[in-house]
Amino acid sequence: MASTLASTTSATNREAIYLALMSIPAGNVITYGQLATLAGLPGAARLAGTVLCGLPENTELPWHRVINAQGKISLPPDSAAYKKQWQRLQAEGVEIKNGKINLRIYGYNN
DNA sequence: TTATTGACATAAC
DNA sequence: TGTTATGCCAATA
């Protein structure tokens, strides 16, 4: 049932991304591709990124748990959002080694 | 309506 | 290991 998540609703794909993101527990991270797949949109990793980029600053969605397939934060290292994401991840127990996160350990659905 | 761009992924070379 | 090409969805020009 949770395999397609939101695929049974009238939600737009953008909203499906929101729902999928909500299902990620603290202490875990997920890649854009997995997030899209979880939302029922395999291959639409780009949409995941586009959607997160449009999130308001006061959103409650755990956008910081989304990283790229390389286990790195897909944001300019000098941006404030980058640091904030980094800090939030560590606060949830995600250990970051040399700027990279071990998806084998912290990856969701892994 | 078509073209371009964007917090990406995967395969092929 | 790094570069190139293709796919996907939405927003904007």
Burial of A89 (0-12, 13-18, 19+ CB in 10 A): buried
**Residue A7 within a domain:** no
Nearest nucleotide (CA of A74 to C1'): B7
Q: Which two tokens stand for residue A89?
A: 């991840």
Q: What is the pLDDT of residues A24-62, one digit of tens each?
A: 999 999 999 999 999 999 999 999 999 999 999 889 999
Å from the A70 CA to the C4 C1' = 18
Q: Answer yes or no: are the C-beta atoms of A30 and A107 closer than 8 Å.
A: yes
**Residue A6 within a domain:** no
Q: Answer yes or no: are the C-beta atoms of A56 and A93 closer than 8 Å.
A: no
**Residue A28 within a domain:** yes
**Residue A75 within a domain:** yes
**Residue A3 within a domain:** no
Looking up residue A65, the CATH number of its domain turns out to be: 1.10.10.10
- Please compute the mean of the pLDDT values over residues A57-75 and round it to a whole number: 95
How many domains, in total, are found in chain A? 1
Q: How far apart are CA A89 and CA A63, in angstroms?
A: 10
Range of the domain at A92: 13-106
Residue nearest to nucleotide B7 (CA to C1'): A49
Residue nearest to nucleotide C11 (CA to C1'): A50
**Residue A97 within a domain:** yes
